[in-house]
């Protein structure tokens, strides 16, 4: 289906001219002379592009543009068309969301080229894999014959009648292949191919040269021009296809889709305080197919550059306000502008001003008195240079990216391997440790049972034969065996805590504390201990581990208040900034803070075993449990005045701690 362009302009001449240009470029065109008509047309048709004049009899192009941008069809490309009086209009239009701003008088081919480009951008994602062929031949009979035959083979086909038109189309539409007649009215087929080969965005396009059989050295000529294949026109069309298909098969995937073609439409910014000279320049460049944006001062140029992308800048050196040098310096200092070639213009043939201009960062320098042909040639040269630079940068970036990706992949692989090895090693060690502690748990206790059991048997059965000293020795043997039993149990527990899975859930800390205290009281019913706990404490923790920790902390408090007349144990919470701190406080034996640092290491004891017996593993176990929950534990104590253990259990990710503070007393 042909793309539909809506042309909105009150001048009949402009409408007719553009409609004709679009028709011959294979577009459908719909003409409207007012905003009202355009609104109606847009509502009724699905347009692909709008060419919009700014001054309309019943409204303003800017307003209509805003209307389009806020409507359902907001993504439709809009090209504003207006007499280039003020750079301000251009800035306004582009800021309001126009995709292009073309000054009147316009260049027809530029308008059509830009239209094709804008449509191609929208199509790119949807674009299929179908290969397209551009046929360039001046004979319309041959063109349509080849077009029909190619379309049957499922190629997308476009045609051009001249080399110049063909090149422009190639730049806009990026065909997979170009079939060009060797003999053409303007530039010949070999030149077309040569130009394609010179353009980094197009150079990978497959080129087939058609030659007449009578031509001598046709093959050599074709190869010299850089053609991929050549076909004699007299040959059967199937032969042409076979060659084309074979060549297309081996055609590389185009890597320069994103590159901007040298032969595509170009926009040039001309900056000069003289309007007369600006118009002279504009005319000269429009003839070459460029669109020219004008700015009357350096300030205006910079303002325009913020919204208008241009391909080359012609900059007058001597201007009131911001000078050409300063403007150039600012352009070259802006990261997104510095690649645009700047050509300095000056009326004076002065060596010093030339040098100053170049120091400011200009890419070239030209005298205003020079022939306009020279100016055009310089502009072309600068554009080509910029394209080559762009290609180089792309290649460098691509290489760098590939290298970077390879390095990243290598690093990731090495990391994964190292990690896998570490995990395997860790799992092996864990299994070993598991086996070890399993055997310890079974085998180490059996001999202790024998030592204890037979010592007891000796006392029971032969008690009479033993004197007091012998009985004491046996008592010591039994005591040692039992202590060792406890030690084994505590050590096994400590080692298991590091390896157990951590399963967090909401735990009623208050209820757990109450149950543990009850068990302690049952084991020593004769003891009188006042016990206080805050009700409703809930924490996110592994219930089994938390129970072990609380058993140890409360067991210690119970033990060390054993010789305190009015024993008191308290459990509660206190807020410390954003985290909750829990505590177990007693008024028991306490200890000197000088040794507090040693307390959480295994086998560290601050009391004589005869005073308060213990294995010295309990607090190491508590420390490990708190640590596994990501919390901290610390202690405050003084000899004879009790100890307070405080700890935190931070929330796991996404968890939520909630606690009510209701004092709750229970005496034990």
Q: Which residues bind to another protein, rule: CB under 8 A?
A: 438, 441-443, 445-450, 452-457, 478, 481-482, 484-485, 489
Q: Which is nearer to another protein, 384 or 496 (CB)?
A: 496
Instruction: Please state the closest distance from residue 450 (CB atom) to another protein, in A.
Output: 4
Instruction: Please state the closest distance from residue 512 (CB atom) to another protein, in A.
Output: 19
Instruction: Please state the closest distance from residue 540 (CB atom) to another protein, in A.
Output: 23
65: region left, alpha or beta (phi > 0 left; psi from -120 to 50 alpha):
alpha
Query: Can you give the C-alpha Rg of the chain in angstroms?
Result: 45
Instruction: Please state the closest distance from residue 435 (CB atom) to another protein, in A.
Output: 11
Instruction: Please state the closest distance from residue 467 (CB atom) to another protein, in A.
Output: 22
Instruction: Please state the closest distance from residue 481 (CB atom) to another protein, in A.
Output: 6
Q: Which is nearer to another protein, 137 or 542 (CB)?
A: 542
Instruction: Please state the closest distance from residue 587 (CB atom) to another protein, in A.
Output: 32
Instruction: Please state the closest distance from residue 446 (CB atom) to another protein, in A.
Output: 6
| Cis bond before residue 43 (omega within 30° of 0) | no
Q: Which is nearer to another protein, 233 or 628 (CB)?
A: 628
CA–CA gap between residue 354 and residue 362 (Å, rounded):
9
Beta bridge partners of 344: 315, 365
- Distances, alpha carbon 193 to alpha carbons 79, 140, 166, 202, 227, in Å: 31, 21, 10, 10, 7
- Give residues with Cβ within 8 angstroms of 210, minimum separation 6: 137, 179, 180, 181, 182, 189, 230, 231, 232, 233
Instruction: Please state the closest distance from residue 614 (CB atom) to another protein, in A.
Output: 17
Beta bridge partners of 271: 295, 315
Instruction: Please state the closest distance from residue 455 (CB atom) to another protein, in A.
Output: 8
Q: Which is nearer to another protein, 265 or 618 (CB)?
A: 618
Q: Which is nearer to another protein, 420 or 457 (CB)?
A: 457
**Which of 589, 593, 606 is CA-nearest to residue 642?**
589
Instruction: Please state the closest distance from residue 456 (CB atom) to another protein, in A.
Output: 4
The answer to whether 595 and 556 have CB atoms below 8 angstroms apart is no
Q: Which is nearer to another protein, 484 or 596 (CB)?
A: 484
Q: Which is nearer to another protein, 488 or 596 (CB)?
A: 488
42: region left, alpha or beta (phi > 0 left; psi from -120 to 50 alpha):
alpha
CA–CA gap between residue 307 and residue 305 (Å, rounded):
5
Q: Which is nearer to another protein, 96 or 547 (CB)?
A: 547
Question: What's the burial of 363, exposed, middle or buried (CB within 10 Å: 0-12/13-18/19+)?
Answer: buried
Q: Which is nearer to another protein, 455 or 648 (CB)?
A: 455
CA–CA gap between residue 450 and residue 165 (Å, rounded):
107
Question: What's the burial of 330, exposed, middle or buried (CB within 10 Å: 0-12/13-18/19+)?
Answer: middle
446: region left, alpha or beta (phi > 0 left; psi from -120 to 50 alpha):
alpha
Instruction: Please state the closest distance from residue 476 (CB atom) to another protein, in A.
Output: 15
Q: Which is nearer to another protein, 198 or 444 (CB)?
A: 444
Q: At what angle do helices 87-95 and 61-69 cross, to 10 degrees?
A: 20
For 374, other C-beta atoms within 10 Å of its C-beta total 11
Q: Which is nearer to another protein, 325 or 615 (CB)?
A: 615
Q: Which is nearer to another protein, 475 or 665 (CB)?
A: 475
CA–CA gap between residue 560 and residue 331 (Å, rounded):
80
Instruction: Please state the closest distance from residue 545 (CB atom) to another protein, in A.
Output: 13
- Distances, alpha carbon 382 to alpha carbons 332, 339, 386, 393, in Å: 15, 11, 6, 16
Q: Which is nearer to another protein, 186 or 453 (CB)?
A: 453
- Alpha helix segments (H runs only) across 569-617: none
Counting every residue written for the chain, the total comes to 668
Strand order in the sheet with 312-316: 291-295, 267-271, 312-316, 342-346, 364-367
Bridging pattern class, strands 530-541 and 659-667:
antiparallel
- Give residues with Cβ within 8 angstroms of 126, minimum separation 6: none
């Amino acid at each position: 289906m042909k793309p539909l362009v809506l042309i909105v302009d009150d001048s009949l001449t402009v409408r007719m001219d553009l409609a004709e240009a679009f028709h011959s470029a294979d577009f459908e065109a719909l003409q409207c002379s007012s905003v009202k008509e355009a609104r109606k047309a847009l509502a009724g048709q699905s347009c692909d592009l709008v060419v919009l004049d700014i001054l309309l009899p019943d409204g303003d192009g800017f307003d209509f543009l805003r209307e389009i941008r806020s409507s359902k069809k907001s993504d439709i490309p809009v090209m504003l068309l207006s007499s280039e009086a003020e750079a301000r209009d251009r800035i306004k239009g582009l800021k309001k969301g126009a995709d292009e701003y073309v000054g009147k008088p316009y260049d027809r081919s530029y308008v059509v080229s830009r239209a094709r480009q804008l449509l191609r951008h929208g199509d790119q994602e949807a674009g299929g894999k179908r290969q397209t062929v551009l046929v360039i031949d001046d004979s319309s009979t041959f063109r349509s014959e080849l077009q029909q035959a190619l379309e049957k083979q499922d190629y997308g086909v476009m045609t051009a009648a001249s080399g110049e038109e063909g090149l422009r189309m190639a730049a806009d539409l990026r065909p997979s292949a170009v079939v060009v007649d060797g003999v053409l009215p303007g530039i010949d087929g070999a030149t077309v191919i040569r130009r394609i080969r010179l353009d980094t965005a197009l150079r990978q396009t497959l080129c087939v040269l058609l030659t007449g059989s009578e031509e001598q050295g046709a093959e050599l000529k074709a190869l010299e021009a850089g053609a991929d294949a050549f076909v004699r026109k007299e040959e059967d069309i199937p032969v042409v296809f076979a060659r084309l298909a074979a060549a297309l098969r081996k055609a590389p995937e185009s890597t320069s889709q994103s590159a901007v073609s040298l032969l595509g439409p170009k926009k040039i910014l001309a900056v000069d305080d003289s309007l007369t000279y600006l118009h002279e320049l504009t005319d000269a460049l429009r003839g070459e197919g460029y669109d020219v944006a004008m700015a009357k001062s350096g300030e205006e140029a910079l303002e325009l550059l913020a919204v208008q992308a241009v391909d080359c800048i012609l900059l007058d050196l001597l201007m009131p306000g911001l000078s050409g040098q300063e403007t150039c310096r600012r352009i070259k200092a802006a990261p997104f502008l510095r690649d645009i070639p700047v050509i300095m213009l000056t009326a004076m043939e002065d060596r010093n001003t030339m040098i100053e201009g170049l120091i400011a960062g200009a890419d070239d320098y030209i005298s205003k008195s020079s022939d306009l042909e020279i100016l055009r040639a310089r502009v072309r040269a600068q554009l080509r240079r910029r394209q080559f630079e762009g290609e180089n940068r792309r290649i460098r970036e691509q290489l760098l990216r590939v290298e970077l990706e390879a390095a990243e992949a290598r690093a990731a692989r090495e990391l994964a391997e190292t990690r896998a090895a570490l995990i395997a090693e860790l799992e092996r060690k864990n299994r070993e440790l598991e086996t070890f502690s399993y055997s310890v748990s079974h085998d180490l206790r059996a001999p202790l049972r024998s030592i204890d059991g037979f010592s007891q048997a000796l006392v029971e059965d032969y008690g009479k034969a033993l004197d007091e000293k012998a009985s004491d020795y046996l008592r010591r043997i039994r005591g040692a065996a039992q202590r060792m039993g406890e030690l084994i149990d505590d050590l096994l527990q400590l080692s298991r805590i590091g390896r157990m899975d951590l399963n967090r859930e909401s735990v009623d800390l208050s209820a757990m504390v109450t149950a543990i205290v009850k068990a302690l009281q049952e084991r020593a019913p004769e003891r009188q201990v006042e016990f206080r706990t805050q009700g409703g404490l809930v924490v996110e923790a592994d219930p089994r581990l938390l129970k072990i920790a609380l058993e140890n902390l409360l067991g210690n408090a119970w033990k060390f208040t054993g010789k305190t007349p009015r024993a008191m144990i308290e459990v509660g919470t206190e807020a410390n900034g954003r985290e909750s701190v829990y505590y177990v406080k007693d008024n028991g034996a306490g200890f000197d803070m000088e040794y507090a640092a040693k307390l959480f290491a295994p086998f560290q004891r601050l009391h004589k075993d005869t005073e308060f017996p213990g294995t010295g593993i309990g607090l190491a176990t508590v420390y490990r449990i708190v640590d596994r929950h990501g919390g901290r534990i610390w202690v405050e104590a003084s000899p004879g005045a009790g100890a307070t253990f405080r700890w935190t259990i931070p929330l796991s990710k996404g968890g939520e701690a909630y606690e009510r503070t209701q004092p709750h007393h229970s005496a034990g």
